[in-house]
């Protein structure tokens, strides 16, 4: 395996994205190790690197080692999707390996795990939470918009009533202090 750091060559910022290509030997996939924040500022750097790899090396499989990605926003997701399309156009398959928890969670929430060759958990991570009984809380399917609007209105009404009660308690406390001659 041959390691080529891509950070300086591709214009990485000190606090930006660090890229390192691990060239495969003997038909193994080419691996691109990515570390740092994948956002609007660093997306072009990753895409340029991917385009260069598929153009120059034409790997059958290109792995992005996403274990070092510390931040992923919508621009980063869009970049990954465009990189995948670029790789497919060039005849390569782009997959993510060893994603950092933040990357796995974002891709799970957006429904993109399988697209990048990652397994989908039997119980979605976003539905897991501890309960007093230790059970896993599961979704009960889609909720109709009217029901969501009604729940939202009820929550706003409860919050308004709580604020009004708190204000009444403050007024009562102020009156009591005045009667007792307290500041």
**Which of 29, 28, 10, 7 shows the shortest CA–CA distance to 18?**
7
Nearest Cα neighbor of 35 from 24, 22, 27, 46 is 46
Three-state DSSP at 119 gives coil
| Separation of alpha carbons 74 and 16, rounded Å | 16
The pTM of the full predicted model, rounded to 2 decimals, is 0.63
Work out the pLDDT band at 174, boundaries 50, 70, 90: confident
Fold classification of 2-129 is Transcription Regulator spoIIAA (3.30.750)
pLDDT for 2: 53
Q: What is the mean pLDDT of residues 30-54?
A: 95
**Distance from C-alpha of 4 to C-alpha of 69, rounded to nearest angstrom:** 18
Q: With 70 as the cut, is the pLDDT of residue 138 above it?
A: no
Question: Region 67-84: what's the mean pLDDT?
Answer: 94
38 vs 160, residue with greater confidence = 38
For residue 46, which of 85, 10, 92 has the smallest C-alpha distance?
10
Percent of the chain with pLDDT over 70: 77
- Inform me whether the pLDDT recorded for 150 exceeds 60: yes
Percent of the chain scoring above 90 in pLDDT = 42
Whole-angstrom Cα distance, residue 182 to residue 175?
A: 10
Mean predicted lDDT score pLDDT of the chain: 81
pLDDT reported for residue 13: 43
Please spell the DSSP secondary structure of 19-69, one letter per residue.
EEEEE-STTPPEEEEEEEEESTTTHHHHHHHHHHHHHHT--SEEEEEEEEE
């Amino acid at each position: 395996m041959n390691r080529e750091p891509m950070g300086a060559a591709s214009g990485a910022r000190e606090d930006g994205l660090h890229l390192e290509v691990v060239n495969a030997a003997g038909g193994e996939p080419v691996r691109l190790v990515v570390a740092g924040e994948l956002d609007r500022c660093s997306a072009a750097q990753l895409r340029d690197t991917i385009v260069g790899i598929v153009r120059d090396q034409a790997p059958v499989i290109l792995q992005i080692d996403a274990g070092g990605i510390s931040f992923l926003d919508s621009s980063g997701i869009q970049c990954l999707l465009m990189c995948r399309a670029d790789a497919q156009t060039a005849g390569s398959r782009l997959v993510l390996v060893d994603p950092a928890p933040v990357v796995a969670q974002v891709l799970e929430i957006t429904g993109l795990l399988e697209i990048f060759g990652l397994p989908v958990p039997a119980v979605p991570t976003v539905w897991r939470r501890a309960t007093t009984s230790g059970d896993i809380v599961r979704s009960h399917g889609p909720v109709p918009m009217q029901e969501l609007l009604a729940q939202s209105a009820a929550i706003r009404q409860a919050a308004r009533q709580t604020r009004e009660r708190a204000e009444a308690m403050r007024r009562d406390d102020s009156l009591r202090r005045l009667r007792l001659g307290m500041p």
